[in-house]
Structure 1
Amino acid sequence: PQPVLDATIPSSYLWHDDRKSFQSFRQEFGLNSARSNASFTPKNQENNTSGILRHESIIQDAWSDTSTQQLQSSRLAPVINRIKSSLSWKRVLFEFALVLLFSSAIILPIVLPYTVANTGEIATTMCPTATPSIILTSTTASTSTSSSTSTSSTSTTSTSTTSTTSVTTTTSTALASCTSSCVNTTITTSSNLLALYPFDSNTNDQQNMYNGVINNGAAFSQGYVLNAIYLNGPSQFVSATYIDLTYKSFTIETWFYLTALNTSDANLFGECAAAANDQCLHLVIRNKYLFMGFYHDDCAGSTVLSTGQWYHAAFVYDYTNLKHLVYLNGNLDGSTGPSTGPYIGQSGAVTIGFTGDGGGVFYYQGYIDQLSVTARAKTACEILNDATLVSHFSFDNTWSDSGPNSLPYNIPQQGNPGMSIVTGHKNQALLFGANSAFFQSYSYTALGTINQPYTLALWIKPTYLNGTVLHLSSDSTGAGAWVIPVMGFTSASNFAIHTWTGSSTYIVGPILPLENWTHVVQTWGTSYGLRLYINGVPYASVTAATFNAAQSQMYLTVGNSLAGGTYNVGPFGGTTGAFWGAVDEFYVYSRELTAEDVCVLFRM
Structure 2
Amino acid sequence: TSTSTIMETSTTVASSTTVASSTTVASSTTVASSTTRVYSSALTFSSPLYVRAGIPRSNAGFHYEAIPLLVEITTHYTIFSNSTMDMHGYIYQDTFNSLFPYENLLLEDADTAGNGQFQFARLLHRYTKYIIVVTTYEAVTTGTFSLTVRGPPSILLSLAETNPPDKIQWLFDGDLNDVYSRYNGQLKINGNNTTTWISPGYAGYGSAACFSSTNYMIVKKYIDLSSTKLTVSAWIWIPKDFWLLYSFPLFSYCTGVELDLCLHMIVVGGLLRVSFRGNDLSGKILLDVNQWHHVTYSYDPLTLQQRIYVNGISDGIQTAIVAFPQITDVITVGTSSVIPFTVPKNGFIDKLTFESRVKSSEEILDEATLVAYYPFDNSYDDVGPNRMINSTFLSTTFDSDGRFDQCLLINSTNLSYFQATGFHYLAQSDYPFSFSLWIYPFVNSGTILQVRFL
Taking structure 2 as the reference length, what is the TM-score of the superposition?
A: 0.56
* Per-residue deviation, 1:432: 2.9
Compare CA radii of gyration and give the structure with the larger one.
1
How much does 1:449 deviate? 4.0
Matches within 5 A, 1:522-601: none
**C-alpha distance after superposition, 1:554-590 (max 9, x if no partner):** xxxxxxxxxxxxxxxxxxxxxxxxxxxxxxxxxxxxx
Inter-partner Cα distance in structure 1 for 2:197 and 2:339: 28
Match of 1:418 among 395, 408, 415: 395
- State the distance in 2 between where 1:250 and 1:329 align: 18
Is the Cα contact below 8 Å between 2:187 and 2:218 reproduced in 1?
yes
Show CA shifts across 1:197-247 (max 9, x none).
233333322222212334433323112212331316553322223443222
Q: CA RMSD in A?
A: 2.9
Pair 358,224 (structure 1): closer, same or farther in 2 beyond 3 Å: closer
Q: Gaps spanning 5+ residues in structure 2: where?
A: 1-101, 106-128, 130-164
**Inter-CA distance 233–269: structure 2 relative to 1 (3 Å threshold):** closer
Conserved? CA contact 2:170–2:353, under 8 Å: yes
The corresponding residue for 2:219 is 240
CA distance in structure 1 between the aligned counterparts of 2:390 and 2:373, rounded to whole angstroms = 12
Aligned to 2:229: 249
Task: Please list the CA deviations of residues 362-405 of structure 1 after superposition, one character each: whole Å capped at 9, or x if unmatched.
Answer: 64522212221111112222222222222211111222222222
Whether contact under 8 Å (1:399, 1:409) holds in the other structure is no
- Partner of 1:380 in structure 2? 361
Aligned residue pair count: 284
Counterpart-to-counterpart distance in 1, 2:103 and 2:281 = 25
Instruction: Check conservation: 2:246, 2:345, Cα contact below 8 A.
Output: no
**Match in the other structure for 1:275:** 257
SS of match in other structure, 2:377: coil
Alpha-carbon distance between aligned partners in 1 of 2:341 and 2:182, rounded to the nearest angstrom: 30
Q: Which has the higher helix share?
A: 1
Q: Using the alignment, how far apart are the partners of 1:341 and 1:189 within structure 2?
A: 33
Corresponding residue for 2:273?
291
The change in CA–CA distance for 1:203 and 1:438 in structure 2 (over 3 A counts) is: farther
Letter in 1 for 2:236: F
Relative to structure 1, is the Cα distance of residues 399 and 291 closer, same or farther in structure 2, using a 3 angstrom cutoff?
A: same
Deviations, residues 451-484 of structure 1 (Å, cap 9, x unaligned): 5333211122334444432222332xxxxxxxxx
Distance 1:399-1:388 versus aligned 2 partners, 3 A rule: same
**Who is 2:328 aligned against?**
347
- Superposition pairs of residues 97-116 of structure 1, within 5 angstroms: none
Structure 2 counterpart SS, 1:411: strand
Instruction: Give the SS at the match of 2:207.
Output: strand
Q: Quick one: structure 1 residues 220 and 212, their matched pair in 2 at CA, closer, same or farther if it must change by over 3 Å?
A: farther
What's 2:48 paired with? none
Structure 1 position 292, deviation (Å): 0.2
Map of 2:431 onto structure 1: 452
CA distance in 2 between counterparts of 1:336 and 1:367 reads 28
Selected match of 2:409 from 428, 431, 449? 431
- Structure 2 Cα separation of the partners of residues 278 and 344 of structure 1: 11
Q: Give the 3-state SS of the residue equivalent to 2:363 in structure 1.
A: helix
Determine what percentage of the aligned residue pairs are the same residue. 27
Q: CA deviation at 1:436?
A: 5.4
Higher strand share: 2
Change (3 A) 1:235 1:368: same
Instruction: Give the 3-state SS of the residue equivalent to 1:460 in structure 2.
Output: coil
Aligned residue number for residue 227 of structure 1: 206
Kindly state the Cα deviation for residue 441 of structure 1 after the two structures are TM-superposed: 3.0
Aligned equivalents of 1:276, 1:344: Cα separation in 2: 15
8 A Cα contact 2:250 2:335, kept in partner? yes
Alpha-carbon distance change, 244 to 447 in structure 1, aligned in 2, over 3 angstroms? farther
Q: Do 2:265 and 2:274's aligned partners in 1 also have CA atoms closer than 8 Å?
A: yes
Answer yes or no: is the 8 Å Cα contact 1:279–1:344 preserved in 2. Answer: no
Amino acid paired to 1:422 = D
2:289 aligned residue (287, 307, 312): 307
Letter in 2 for 1:392: Y
Query: In structure 2, the residue corresponding to 1:241 is in which secondary structure?
Result: strand
